[in-house]
Amino acid sequence: MSRAQKADKVFAELFAAERTPSPTDPELMEILQRNIFGEVFFVGNLSHKDREMITVVALTTMQTLPQLKAHIHAALNVGNTPLAIREAIYGCAPYIGFPRSLNAIGVFNEVAQERKISLPLETTGTTNDETRHAQGLNIQTSLYGDEVKQAMSALPSLYQDIVPDMLTDFCFGDFYTRRGLDIKQRELFSLVVLTTLGAEKQLKAHAIGALKAGNDKETLLAAMVQLIPYIGLPNALTTINLIKETDPATYQPIYE
């Protein structure tokens, strides 16, 4: 098939509609659609379900809300559950903050209402104020050891524990412990968020964490290629180069 034919097929699967020319910018939209749906979607080992979840996470991070709405619909159309999509958006909060996460979940709720999905969805939290630190620390340590604690040891004494504990409790205790996504998915999506943000200092650790969580190098590279038309080449290439330099044999998967 040609790129245009491939784009027609994928577009129909994602959006349950035929591709039609843009009335105002037909050339740009044709380049866009052939690139994304006729080319990028055929690179690597990702399913359409995976690709749309990665796209939803990237669009949530960038706050491109009109496109996010279309791709939440697409994520549902190719078989993702409402719960998994909600959890992927929730999981962005430690990286992008609550205001942007609330914007994105507001779009998700609009889609749910349009599709007559009953809200609120089921509760998936598994920790409370007494258990969140220990459970979060267990996950964090398995993936990252105590490197954050060590890195913060040069801070003034008040912050030597407060800052790393906030990371443990907030990111891992409040979110990584939730049902709906596994650790492997959460680490992949964390790498997607950080790549989209261009958070270079955190990227290497999370590339390693994603491998230890059970993702293979091919999956990480395919995810970065999937991001290119949405976030642009520079940020995606930064992570691709880090993945290239990482030896998967050094980091045996902990979670399967």
> Tell me, what CATH number does 227's domain have?
1.20.1290.10
**88 and 28 within one domain:** no
Residues 36 and 55 in one domain: no
Whether residues 104 and 55 share a domain: the answer is: yes
Cis peptide before 120 (omega within 30 of 0): yes
d(C-alpha 186, C-alpha 213), whole Å: 9
Does some domain include residue 9?
yes
The pLDDT of residue 256: 60
Asked if residue 106 belongs to a domain, the reply is yes
206 and 243 fall within a common domain: yes
CA distances, 41 to each of 33, 104, 153, 185, 228 (Å):
10, 24, 44, 19, 11
Q: Across residues 140-155, what is the average pLDDT?
A: 90
| Structural domain includes residue 98 | yes
Give the three-state DSSP class for 12. Answer: helix
Chain centroid offset of residue 160 CA: 29
Instruction: Say yes or no: 233 and 189 in one domain.
Output: yes
- Asked if residue 2 lies in contact with residue 33, where contact means CB atoms within 8 angstroms, the answer is no
pLDDT band at 151 (very low <50, low <70, confident <90, very high): confident
Which of the four pLDDT bands, split at 50, 70 and 90, describes residue 253?
A: confident
Section 232-243 average pLDDT: 98
Q: Which domain holds residue 200?
A: 49-117+178-250
Which amino acid, residue 167?
A: L
Percent of the chain with pLDDT over 90: 91
Nearest Cα residue to 45 out of 246, 227, 218 = 218
Look at residue 134 and tell me if it is in a domain.
no
Provide the 3-class DSSP secondary structure of residue 100: helix
